[in-house]
Amino acid sequence: MHALALIDNRILIDSPPTVVTQLRRSEISPGQLQHILFTHWHGDHAFGFPFLLLDRKYLSKPMGEEKLELHLRPGGKEYLSTLCKMGFPGSLDDSLEELVNWNESEKSAIGRTGWKYDRFPVHHTPETDPHGYELEHESGFRILHCGDSGPCPEIERRAERVDVAILEMGMPDIGDFPHHHRPSDVVSFNKRFPEVKVLVTHNYARSPNSESGFEIPELPVDVIQLNDGDSIEIDIMGNFTVNN
């Protein structure tokens, strides 16, 4: 499945084409979502949005009693509206105004969830307006979600003050790929920030049960390479357990 993150079953980061399937496999209804944070405008991170909105309109939230708040960069409203009109002409025009709130703030509280974010630019295909999110819970626990990005100064600057860093690792060590982390980049990051728990997503490697594709790379034992459906439990003291 495509890369996404879900916090407290309410805050979704990105909406890839497989998002509805991923939610249902985890026994979560699209109607439970309250917020979506978008990192950039590549199809594997955004093309599932029309399906989410369609599900909420007709199945999981038909009364429209709670709007879905979208946190996105300027230009995102036009992008997602065009996507909905292309995918389901005439079906979602009203929903884009009546069922959605559009939040273009670079820093914002995420409703009443106890979380807030600071959005920052990252190093990825520039045409996609790529950004990451530094998320802070009211307890002080911090997550650095780097979106799709290779190593960049903003990630380095913020990494030393977070508890968890989510790094995409989209390419193997077979060349120079500045818009993605490679295994060597992840290892280097882990050495520079040993106190930060590193979670690897968007992995180029094959799944554990597959016999084709790139081998799963060897990374330090404290770096977690996430698989579909993996979860992280964080207690009130900030301790966390990765279930994978």
Domain 1-104 and domain 108-244, same fold? Reply is: yes
Residue 47 CB-half CA count within 13 A: 9
Distances (CA, A) of 103 to 110, 139, 199: 10, 24, 27
**Architecture of the CATH domain 1-104:** 4-Layer Sandwich (3.60)
Residues 184-240 pLDDT 10s? 999 999 999 999 999 999 999 888 778 888 989 999 999 999 988 899 898 877 777
Q: How confident is the model at residue 182 (pLDDT cuts 50, 70, 90)?
A: very high
Q: Cα–Cα distance between 115 and 103 in angstroms, integer? A: 15
Region 108-244: CATH code: 3.60.15.10
Nearest to 35 by CA among 90, 98, 113: 113
Check residue 244 and give its pLDDT: 73
Indicate the domain borders of the chain: 1-104, 108-244
Residues 35-56 pLDDT 10s? 999 999 999 999 999 999 999 9
pTM of this structure: 0.95
Residues 57-101 pLDDT 10s? 999 988 878 899 999 999 999 999 999 999 999 999 999 999 999
Q: Cα–Cα distance between 109 and 117 in angstroms, integer? A: 6
Amino acid sitting at position 119? R
